[in-house]
Amino acid sequence: MSAHDHADHDHTHGGAAHGSLKGYLIGFFLSVVLTAIPFWMVMTGAIDNKQATAIIVMAFAVVQIIVHMVFFLHMTPASEGGWSMLALIFTVILVVIVLSGSLWVMYHLNANMMPGLHEMREMP
């Protein structure tokens, strides 16, 4: 059964798998709190300013994603000899470029090509 022993050894240092009961419970508690607060904020309109609410809600989402990565997906810089983290960082960079690029470009396209607004004002 040496193959089995080897495999056991392999997946323990594989890193992507093992958590503890405490870890899962902390992660669950944190994500419940981090979900409940933004829902409560939006549903009750706790803050009058919509833009401020939006920014706070997004901040909560970012924190919750990190909580899930750490406590549920067990990401550490050492998982799979660092390759998981490298792939994650690369993906995050691509996601940021895709999202911010699309929103930025299309916002300006809309703002500048909106028929009527500029032309109407410049008409004699």
| Binding site residues, another protein, CB under 8 A | 3-4, 6-11, 14-21, 24-25, 27-28, 31-32, 35, 38-39, 42-43, 50, 53-54, 57-58, 60-61, 64-65, 68-69, 72-73, 80, 83-84, 87-88, 90-91, 94-95, 98-99, 102-103, 106
Q: What is the rounded distance in angstroms from the CA atom of residue 76 to the CA atom of residue 20? A: 15
Give whichever of 89 and 124 is closer to another protein, judged by the CB atom: 89
Q: Please state, in angstroms and rounded to a whole number, the distance separating the CA atoms of residues 35 and 55.
A: 15
Residue keyed to tokens 């008409």: 123
Judge residue 27's burial from the number of C-beta atoms within 10 Å of its C-beta, 0-12 exposed, 13-18 middle, 19 or more buried: buried
Return the number of the residue (113 or 123) whose C-beta is nearest another protein.
113
How near is the Cβ of 114 to another protein at its closest, in Å?
Answer: 12
Residue 72: phi and psi, rounded to 5, are: -100, -45
The three-class DSSP label of residue 20 is coil
Least distance in angstroms from the C-beta of 115 to another protein: 14
The nearest distance, CB 95 to another protein, in angstroms, is: 4
